[in-house]
């Protein structure tokens, strides 16, 4: 998505909890690039492990639909980048997403992919509940386990309430 696309569609994105301004595109690229550079440093042996604390986050951004404060899906892009740049070293990827909200973008990015195990720990309201909780789709349910080559590789560990009781 180009900077002009973001500007043209800013009103649309605002409805999807994606607020944009003149710096959004550059900040999102820096955030995603920072995660990729951390992955590169680990793979090249410059560091033993890494943890990227970046904003904006990425787990709500779907392949063709940025939303939920997420322009680019940093985790999905980095996982695909690792498999592309280091195909002899990176055969499989494990992505663990622990957030109060379901990471719909990561799940949809790899739903049919046999090379990524996606585990999401999040709050999820059952369909019979009248409450809305972002992202508000049934994709976060424990019955969404992947399909095709990715069947069984999408794991949603759900909590029906805020916190333990």
Q: State the catalytic residues.
A: 60
| Dihedral sign (CA 18, 156, 43, 84) | negative
Residue 71: which residues within 8 A CB-CB, separation 6 or more? 1, 6, 18, 20, 24, 25, 28, 56, 58, 61
Residue 56: cis peptide before it, omega within 30 degrees of 0: yes
């Amino acid at each position: 998505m180009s900077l002009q696309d973001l500007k043209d569609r800013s009103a649309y994105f605002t409805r999807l909890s994606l607020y944009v301004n003149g710096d959004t595109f550059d900040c999102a690229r820096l955030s995603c690039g920072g995660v990729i550079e951390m992955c590169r440093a680990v793979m090249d042996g410059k560091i033993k492990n890494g943890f990227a604390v970046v904003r904006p986050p990425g787990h709500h951004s779907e392949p063709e639909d940025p939303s939920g404060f997420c322009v680019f899906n940093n985790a999905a892009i980095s996982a695909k980048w690792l498999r592309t740049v280091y195909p002899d070293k990176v055969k499989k990827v494990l992505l663990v997403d622990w957030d109060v909200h379901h990471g719909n973008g990561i799940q949809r990015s790899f739903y049919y992919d046999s090379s990524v195990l996606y585990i999401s720990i999040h709050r999820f309201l059952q369909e019979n509940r009248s409450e809305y909780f972002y992202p508000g789709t049934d994709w976060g349910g424990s019955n969404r386990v992947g399909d095709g080559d990715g069947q069984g590789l999408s794991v949603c560990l759900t909590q029906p309430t805020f916190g333990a009781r």
